[in-house]
Amino acid sequence: MSRKLTLRQALLWLLALRADISHKEIGAKIGISEARVSQFLRRERRLEIKDEDFEKLLGAIPHKPAEVTILTELLEALEALEDTGGLTDEQAAGVELEVLQGARLMREDLREVLRRVTSLTFDGYPEPADLTPARLLAEEQWERLRGLTPEARRAVVQGSERFQSYALCEKICDLSEEAAARDLEEAATLAGLAREIAERVRGPETWREAMMGYATALGANILRVKGELIEARVTMEEAKRLWRRGSDPAAVLDPGRLLDLEASLCRAERRCGEALGLLDEAVAVGRHPERVLIKKGFTLEVMGEYERAAGTLLRAIDRIDRRTEPRLWNIGRLNLANNYSHLGRFQEAEDLVRTVRPFVIERGDKLDLIRLGGIEARLAAALGQPEEALRRLRQARQQFAAQQMVYDVALAALEEAVLLLDLDQVDHVRRLGGELEEVFASRGVHREALAALRLFHEAVEREEASAELARRVLRYLYRARYDEDLPFNAS
C-alpha cells in the first residue's frame, strides 16, 4: 500500500470508507471541490498531505478518536512489513513475527477495553484498568449530549446513572475551560453540568468531595473570566476546601488542575508572584505541563517580562502535538508572536503569524482572529508598511469595539496614533479623539490608565502630542492592563 498511498492518504481513505461518506460530502463540509478531495484520497496517486489540509479532511470525516489510533497503528505495521528491502529472509521473517505479535496484543487489548466498557458500573472509586474504557465511554456520551439543549443535558444527567460518572464530569470540565475563551455562556453551562454530575458520582464520600472540588473550580474560572473577581475567589476557596477534604489516592483527576486555575485567578487579582508559584507547582505535578507553561508565559507577558515569557512559551511549544492539541498549538504560537513583536524580533514574529493564520481562519475563533489582526498591524508598521498597518489597526479597533473590549480599543487607538504622528498626520490623530471619548465614558478602563489616556488626549487637543508621548502611554497601558495600581509617570 505504501507504494501507492502515504500513511495519511490511507488513513483518510479508510476512515471515509468506514463512515460511508463520499468525496463530495467531505468537500462540501470544508468548502473545497469533490475533485480536490479526490486528489488527496485517490488510491492511484501518492501525495504528501500538509498538516492544515490533513486536519481539515480529518475533521470532515465522522470518526471516533480511537479509530484514528487503531488504523494508524495498523497502517504503520503494514508499512513495516513492506519496508524490508535490504533485509535478509531471516530478518524479514523477524519483522513479520513482531508485527503479528503486535497485532495479536492490540486485538486482545481492544477486546479487554470493549469488555470493560460494557461492564462499567461506576459504583466505587475507579480501578486503574477502568480509566481508559471510562474515558472512551465519556467521549461517546458527550457526542450524544452535544446537540441537546442545556435543559435536556441536565435531564439526561439527572435521570441516567450511566451519565453520572467521574469520566464524563472530567470531560465536561475540560470542555468548559476550553469554551471560556470563545463562548462564556456555553462555558458556564458546561461548568454547571459538571457540578451536577460531580454531586451524583457514586463511591466513597471523600471521592465525591474531590470531584465536587474539581468541578467547582471551573465555576470559579467562569466568574474570573467575567471579571467578577470577589465571587470567583469565594468560589475558588470553596473548591479548595472540597478538594482538600476529599480524596483521590490514585490521582485519577489531574492534580495540577486546581493549581493552574487558581493561578489564573491570582493573575487577574494582580498577584502575579503567587500565580507564578502556583504554576510552577502545577508544572511539577500536573498532567499537562505544556498547557501550564502557556499560562506561565502569558503571566510573564502581562508583567512586561517579554524575554522570560518567550523562553517559557518556547518550552511549552516543544511539548505540544498539533494533532492532539490543536488549539493549544495555536495559542502558544500566537502568544510567542506577540512577545516577539514587543521585543523587536519582527521577522520571527512574522514567520509565526504566517504559520498560524490559516489555522486561525479555519477555526473561526473571533477573539483569536482579532488578536492576529492586531499583531499583524504592529508587524506591518515595524516592517515599513504604514498604510497596511493603519488599515489593520482601524479594522482591529472596530472589531474590539463590537466585542465591547474597551481596553483593547484604547490600545489599538494608541498604536494608530503612534503611526499617524510618525507620518505627521496630526489631523487624523484628532479624529481618534472620538474613540478615546467613548473609552473615557466606559467602565472597562481603570483610573490610572484613564489618567494616562486623558493626558495624551489633552496633548492632542493642544496640538502638542508627539509620537514619543504616544509610545510612552502605549507602553504603560500594556503594563497597567493587569496592574491597576501601577502609576503613570508623565515625565
Query: Per residue in 326-350, pLDDT tens?
Result: 888 889 999 999 999 989 999 999 9
What three-state secondary structure class fits 120? coil
More confident residue, 442 or 403: 403
CATH of domain 7-119: 1.10.260
Do 300 and 309 touch, CB atoms closer than 8 A? yes
- In this prediction, residues 241-257 reach a mean pLDDT of 95
| Residues ≥6 apart with Cβ < 8 Å to 442 | 406
- In this prediction, residues 30-54 reach a mean pLDDT of 74
More confident residue, 164 or 134: 164
DSSP state of 488: P
Share of the chain above pLDDT 90, in %: 31
More confident residue, 437 or 262: 262
Q: Which pLDDT band holds residue 105 (cuts at 50, 70, 90)?
A: low
Most confident option among 10-19, 51-60, 110-119, 307-316: 307-316
Give the cell for residue 19: 463512515
Q: What pLDDT does 30 receive?
A: 81
Give the cell for residue 338: 506577540
| Residues ≥6 apart with Cβ < 8 Å to 189 | 150, 153
Give the cell for residue 360: 486561525
More confident residue, 133 or 120: 133
Do 229 and 249 touch, CB atoms closer than 8 A? no
Please report how the helices 51-60 and 34-41 are oriented relative to each other, as an axis angle in degrees rounded to 10. Answer: 110
Amino acid at 248: D
Domain residue ranges in the chain? 7-119, 121-250
Share of the chain above pLDDT 70, in %: 84
Q: What pLDDT does 96 receive?
A: 56
Mean pLDDT score of the chain, rounded to an integer? 82
CA torsion sign for 230, 234, 239, 243 is positive
Distance between CA atoms of residues 99 and 194, nearest Å: 42
Q: Which pLDDT band holds residue 1 (cuts at 50, 70, 90)?
A: very low
Q: What pLDDT does 42 receive?
A: 66
Q: What pLDDT does 2 receive?
A: 40
More confident residue, 361 or 76: 361
Please report how the helices 205-226 and 166-179 are oriented relative to each other, as an axis angle in degrees rounded to 10. Answer: 10
Cβ burial 107-124 (10 Å sphere, 16+ → b, else e): eeeeeebeebeeebebee
CA torsion sign for 216, 219, 221, 227 is negative
Q: What pLDDT does 3 receive?
A: 47
Please report which residue ranges of 180-305 form alpha helices under DSSP H. 184-200, 205-226, 229-245, 257-268, 272-285, 289-302
CA atoms within 13 A on the CB side of 17: 10
Q: What pLDDT does 443 receive?
A: 61
Q: Which own/partner contact pairs does 153-158 have at CB distance under 8 Å and 24+ positions apart?
A: 153/189, 153/193, 154/193, 154/196, 157/193, 157/196, 157/197, 157/200, 158/196, 158/200
Nearest CA to 375 among 401, 411, 410, 406? 411
Most confident option among 298-302, 355-359, 423-427: 298-302
